[in-house]
Structure 1
Amino acid sequence: MTSPEPALTAPPTGAPSHSLMFQPSFRPDPAQRLYCVEEAARLLSLGRTAVFELVRTGELRSVKVGRSRRIPATALDEFVSRLVNQAGEAA
């Protein structure tokens, strides 16, 4: 018998309810196509500010959905591939 997956933990009092920084068991849905900046930061093991900077400089592609900024799953894959290729070239 397998144990159930751990539920997402609630953020501490005063933290925004959408904050993923306090959710250690965050697991992305493989079918998800767009991620908010906080989710992308979690997936890349970066801070929210760093992801906003990558978006601002164009290193990480993003799209606007209404007033929100979203990161396509393909943009995350492209970004990681570029990092791996750059690391391979530097070695």
Structure 2
Amino acid sequence: MAPPSLAVLHAEVDPALDLLTVPQVLARLQLGRSAVYGLLHSGQLTPITLGRARRIPTHALTDFIRVRLDQEAA
């Protein structure tokens, strides 16, 4: 059986599973480096580690923002 083409694999990937680098999260949250690393170390923002690289799934960033909005509304 032939392996699926890259187009098929790409089409099946859920956009919610996109991975962001720390600098990308810095830009999206408009926070400093130490603030974002503080969120990562406290567990408020959940990364995954790939070798030595740390990536933040977009759904983790969305969940973090949603929780913060709910806290502000309460």
TM over 0.5: yes
Specify the alignment match of 2:68 in structure 1.
Answer: 83
State the identity as a percent.
Answer: 38
Unpaired runs of at least 5, structure 1 = 1-29
Unpaired runs of at least 5, structure 2 = 1-14
Question: Which residue, 54, 59, 62 being the options, matches 2:39?
Answer: 54
Q: Which 4+ stretches in 1 moved above 3 angstroms? A: none
Looking at structure 1, the residues matched to 16 and 39 of structure 2 have their Cα atoms a distance apart, in angstroms, of: 24
Q: Normalization by structure 1: what TM-score?
A: 0.61
Q: Normalization by structure 2: what TM-score?
A: 0.75
Highest RCO, 1 vs 2 (Cα 8 Å, sep ≥ 6): 2
Number of residue equivalences:
60
1:71 maps to 2:56: yes
- From the two aligned structures, give the one with the greater helix fraction: 2
CA RMSD of aligned residues (A): 1.6
